[in-house]
Amino acid sequence: MTDLPTIVPPSRRGFLAGLGIAAVGLSFAPLAGCGKGGDGGAKARTLNFYNWDTYIGETTLADFKAASGVDVNMSLFATNDELFAKLRGGNQGYDVIVPTNDFVQRMIAANMLEPLDHAKIPNFRNVDPEFQDAVFDPGRKYSMPYTWLVMGIGYRKSKVDGVPDSWKWMFDSDRYKGRISLVSEAGDLVRLAMKYLGKPMNTSDDATLKQVEALLIKQKPNVAVYHEDNGQDLLLAGDVDLVIEFNGDIAQVMREDKDIDFVVPREGSQISSDCLAIPKGAPNPDLAHEFIDYLLDAKAGAEIARTIQYPTPNAAAKALMDEAYRDNKVIFPPDLKNSEYAEYTSEELSRKYEEIVTRVRAA
């Protein structure tokens, strides 16, 4: 019998090692200041930030505290599924969150986000015009752009034959049996399998979904791990040789290990945009706007981009970055013509994605 692949919790290696003591307020404990209600003006000096792992500048939180006097209590989530589930039953005290574009759509539809007051976010002017409007959030009523990103294959060059520039090696081959890691987030996994099959990535066609499920079940014995946002750690540690991951996460570990590289498969991939938003019922909405505005500052944005190695939509921040960042083909992949943005269509389709992955895991 084949051992069942397991989901490995994020190791926080890159996050804790990279930020060290600069991670002011990093917390896995109950949120600070919960239950006190209202913004409280000068009395409310702690902000609760719900963010991805390895996704803030090395000194950003300390710099914000020095500039504003506000402490940031940052908690971490591993997937959009986790973020959505945490907030679906009500806000537990978070002021600012970082959902991906399709989940911005999903949370707007579920009335889970507060409208933004653009007058309180003057640094929005720093955002590249390309990102100042969005199909998933017209007029940026509910979200501000934080990064944009693309999924691909991170791989160890010495363990792989050539460049693995097809999703075949992840979804339809036993060539690297036991040495590959797929994402655990349902929507991402299903949509990328659709890309491999040459299907529209955001389709709700039941026949296509059944084909994807069959493909994933067939490939399951070859999968070592379905990971939760820590694929780069698995690759760096030598636990796997190929992993589906975001470009920025692989760019981070490429600084540590020259045997690691990244490719966007020729079939195309999923482009995403992670956003800053204020969840419904945020206890400190004024501080939330202040923090979002700070993150969109040119220098703060450059510090974030320098640390996390993701493409920034902040034009003023990008202008401050060196050529090693601006010309990096992992951070800014040159050929995305076959790639497209993920879209939220309906709760019914989101549930179908989740049910497919549940059945795959149980098969």
Residue range 108-162, pLDDT digits in tens: 999 999 999 999 999 999 999 999 999 999 999 999 999 999 999 999 999 999 9
Give the Å distances, CA to CA, from 91 to 34, 86, 141, 191: 10, 8, 20, 29
The strand ranges marked E within 37-143 are 46-52, 71-77, 96-97
Confidence of residue 228 (pLDDT cuts 50, 70, 90): confident
pLDDT of residue 30: 54
Residue for token digits 């066609």? 205
- The dihedral sign for the CA sequence 257, 164, 226, 84: positive
Q: From CA 230, how far away is CA 211, in angstroms rounded? A: 28
pLDDT of residue 17: 39
Q: How far is CA 218 from the centre of its chain?
A: 27
Residue for token digits 């959505």? 84
Tens of pLDDT, residues 155-196: 999 999 999 999 999 999 999 999 999 999 999 999 999 999
Q: What is the mean pLDDT of residues 314-331?
A: 96
The strand ranges marked E within 87-189 are 96-97, 144-156, 180-183
- The dihedral sign for the CA sequence 165, 156, 254, 239: positive
| Lookup: tokens for 155 | 């791989």
Tens of pLDDT, residues 79-110: 999 999 999 999 999 999 999 999 999 999 99
Q: How far is CA 338 from the centre of its chain?
A: 20
pLDDT of residue 24: 47
pLDDT of residue 331: 96
CB atoms under 10 Å from CB of 231, counted, come to 29
Output the pTM of the full model.
Answer: 0.84
Q: What is the mean pLDDT of residues 282-308?
A: 97
> Which one, of 231, 181, 205, 305, lies nearest residue 10 by Cα?
231
